[in-house]
Structure 1
Amino acid sequence: MTGSPPRRRGGLGVVGRRLVQFVLDEMVVFVPMLLLAIAVVVLFHPRGPGLLTFLKVVLYTMLALDFLGLWFVTVWWPYRHNGQTPAMRWLRLRIVTLEGAHPSLGAFAVRELLMMVDGFAWGLAGIVVMLVTRRRQRFGDVVARTVVVRVPRHRTDDPDDPGDSADQSAFPGPDGDLGAVAGPQLALGRADVGLDGGQRHHE
């Protein structure tokens, strides 16, 4: 029917995928640390009054290792692996600059440092910022001038094109749920192009 609004595809969308990705990356780090802490307590716990002190040392050590592990997974790993944390690779997401380039190590560090702001109220602050910003950026993305985009899934017979590989540099297609990324024919770095698939006209 002419004039009827286009139907949007189902799915999580960029914001939903990012929430799942955040939980998965946390589990990638936290679960091994927890299992290690349990093993240490079971195998080496002292008897008597020193047990409480021992448990505190294990707890603080686990928290410190978890903190370092998160920085490794969210800063160093994506810097060395084409802008993707392990969970981002599984969910076909990537961090890029507003110009569509690979972010610097400093940009990844700024994003993670500002999780202290985005993580306020159990992450509600970051979710609200992502929902109200045009490019679905959390505060850390806004400051670091980065954006999380979806990696397209496609097949190709071209040997120079990585096709379905998550390491491809092709620009993602539109997000059918939230309209969070631009169409593949649009350049990310242009000022008149929005990641919601729309285009601003110069005045």
Structure 2
Amino acid sequence: MTRPGLGVVGRRLVQFVLDEMLVFVPMLLLAIAVVWLFHPHGLALLTFLKVVLYTMLVLDFLGLVFINVWWPYRHGGQTPAMRWLRLRIETLEGAHPSLGAFVVRDLLMVVDGFAWGLAGIVVMLVTRRRQRFGDVVARTVVVRVPRLADQAAFPSPDGDFGTVSGAELALDRADVGLDRRQRNHQ
């Protein structure tokens, strides 16, 4: 495996901010709407604001777990921002990480986020594979996805109509298991 350049560190920082914003901004807008529409009159306003704040923090935490753990586990090792920036999480062997590896990476964000993320940046800059501490422990690495990987896996469109020619997708009854005679001979 070749050593990733410093550019991957910059992409990872932008990716982190974008993923955080994908979760935080909707939560903030929701909290503002709830306070604006349902605020109580009188002295209970402070209690109401505390409830909204704590609810927002819990929902933000759950949203970040969803974006950083479940989403990449189910979507080829990429968060939404990683897909936009052509980054992917892989094991050191180049395989798709387990759900446990994503959980470990997310839990150790506490260490990597120390001093407003400076600890994670320093660790990425000094490690050979540009890994943060969570990546080192989970035995994962963030790699750039080549531009060719963004191309569709389907045949190219035919003509101006955007359709696919019939011969490229034609399936015979035996291919889909509908022909009993073919199934019995196998």
TM-score (norm 2): 0.78
- 1:147 lines up with 2:133 in the alignment: no
Matches within 5 A, 1:65-84: 65-84=59-78
Residue of structure 1 aligned with 2:106, choices 97, 103, 112: 112
CA distance in 1, matches of 2:107, 2:120: 13
State yes or no: 1:35 paired with 2:21: no
Structure 2 segments unaligned to the other structure (5+ residues): 154-186
Distance 1:105 1:111, change over 3 A: same
**Does 1:24 find its partner at 2:10?**
no
Following superposition, the deviation at residue 100 of structure 1 comes to: 0.1
| Equivalent residue in structure 1 for 2:48, among 36, 54, 72 | 54
- Paired residue for 1:123? 117
SS of residue in 1 equivalent to 2:150: coil
1:165 Cα deviation after fit: 3.9
Question: How far does residue 166 in structure 1 lie from its aligned partner after superposition?
Answer: 8.8
Corresponding letter in the other structure for 2:150: D
Query: C-alpha separation between the residues in 1 aligned to 2:105 and 2:152?
Result: 22
Q: Is residue 86–residue 145 contact of structure 2 (8 Å, CA) maintained in 1?
A: yes
d(CA) in 1 for partners of 2:30, 2:146: 37
Match of 1:88 among 53, 57, 82: 82
Match of 1:7 in 2: none
Q: Secondary structure at the match of 1:102?
A: coil
CA–CA distance in structure 1, aligned partners of residues 93 and 152 of structure 2: 19
Query: Compared with structure 1, are the counterparts of its residues 14 and 52 closer, same or farther at alpha carbon in structure 2 (3 Å cutoff)?
Result: same
Alignment partner of 2:147: what SS?
coil
CA positional deviation for 1:118? 0.2
Is there any run of 5+ residues in structure 1 with no aligned partner, and where? 1-10, 155-162, 168-203
Which AA in structure 1 matches 2:83? R
Alignment partner, residue 135 of structure 1: 129
Percent of counterpart pairs with the same letter?
88
Cα distance, 1:12 vs structure 2: 7.1
Secondary structure at the aligned position of 2:89 is classed as strand
TM-score by length of 1: 0.71
Q: State whether residues 92 and 166 of structure 1, in contact with CA within 8 Å, keep that contact through their aligned partners in structure 2.
A: no
CA RMSD of aligned residues (A): 1.6
Counterparts of residues 7-22 of structure 1 (less than 5 Å): 13-22=7-16
Q: Is the 8 A contact 2:77 2:96 kept in 1?
A: yes
> Which structure has the larger Rg over C-alpha atoms?
2
Cα displacement string for residues 35-88 of structure 1 (whole angstroms, at most 9, x for unaligned residues) = 000000000000100000000000000000000000000000000000000000
Counting matched residue pairs gives 149
User: Aligned partners of 2:31 and 2:107: how far apart in 1?
Assistant: 26
1:127 CA drift (Å): 0.1
